[in-house]
Amino acid sequence: MDVLFWQLVHLLLRDGYRIAQLSERGDEIWLESGHWRRPTLVRLVRADFDWSRSLRLDIEYTWQLIRQMNGRKIGKGGRVVNVYVMAYPPVDDWEFLVSKPLPLPGAADGGFETLLIHSGNADEMLLRLGDLIGVSLRPQPLAEEADPFAVAERLKHEVLTEWRRQREEERRLFDYGKPVFTKLLIIVQVAMFLVLEWSGGSTNPDVLIHYGAKFNPLIEAGEWWRFLTPMVLHIGLLHLLTNTFALYYLGMTVERLYGSLRFLVIYITAGFFGTLASFLFTPSLSAGASGAIFGLFGALLYFGTVYRHLFFRTMGMNVVSLIVINLLFGLLVPGIDNAGHIGGLIGGFLAAGAVHLPKHAAWGRQFRALAAAVLLAAAGLWVGFR
């Protein structure tokens, strides 16, 4: 059964599952699928419970643990499959503990399923487990001369090696690039603010218009560069400070994830889309890096579509919460250009899709994102200059 336990881990890894958590002794492993619409968590436990009470307590503990996640890891339609691999089942009545799935919050058609695989029902339970998670589970039988203890140790070593490789790969994802342009953009923002103050004040409309703020009549007159120049202009010290801090924290993260050149493309594209949306929906004078900064949120959301579980395991809920809070704040507080924020968010997401993540080309996905960005920009310009 030790061999079967590690063979199951191997088969799931081969089918695209990733190790989410592994106990120190290696007798409990959580694996997560990469399926977007129907995510699945599989908990594999190699244990021998003599009495059903111990099994019941472990099932209840795990069920409560999953319930505390509030469906974050599985979502609507997902499920958790709790699998025990045992040499022999408990000596007293235990079947009622695994006869029905337990409900989970947010998982309308999913649930918490428990399977107990032992030496007497392995073939039947492997078929059922395969049906639940959509994976063909056909472990290779041991050769007659094979030492099962040696085989189990070899399989365990291979799994642990893969676990370390995954963790190193995830670490490298967050440390690919150096935040060069983030720092440079901050310097440019501060320098331009000082220029505005020196020239008559950053809150003076004439000064802002002179240095390139978004002003619809001049854009309609052909000053197209005003789709980009507002990104480095700020109206008042508070505006500068809030955007500079946001750029520092978000920019550092996005530039490390995507690399410097991709980051710059995302930032400029998001800034353009933010100004374009403001041009279409807001007639007032405006400036600021907010649209481009919201584009960095969009880039993080795109990262979440590629590495869904990693995203929600690390920063996902914080990113989503900040987007919602900022958009609601923009709706409730007058004078905030929410159209620019939404435009930047969309532009950043599409730009991130077009450049994609380093060393992870997805040409079909990139082409669709690029085509969507070009068509959306062309449509916006056509409507704006009609």
Catalogue the active-site residues: 290, 341
Give me the half-sphere count of Cα atoms (radius 13 Å) on the Cβ side of residue 243. 30
First to last CA, the chain: 72
Residue 167: CB atoms within 10 A of its CB come to: 12
Contact 46, 3 (CB under 8 A): no
The 10 Å CB-count burial string (b at 16+, else e) for 253-291 is: bbbbbbbbebbbebbbbbbbbbbbbbbbeeeeebbbbbb
Residue 372: CB atoms within 10 A of its CB come to: 15
3-state secondary structure of 19: strand
Give me the half-sphere count of Cα atoms (radius 13 Å) on the Cβ side of residue 339. 14
The β-bridge relationship of strands 79-85 and 40-46 is: parallel
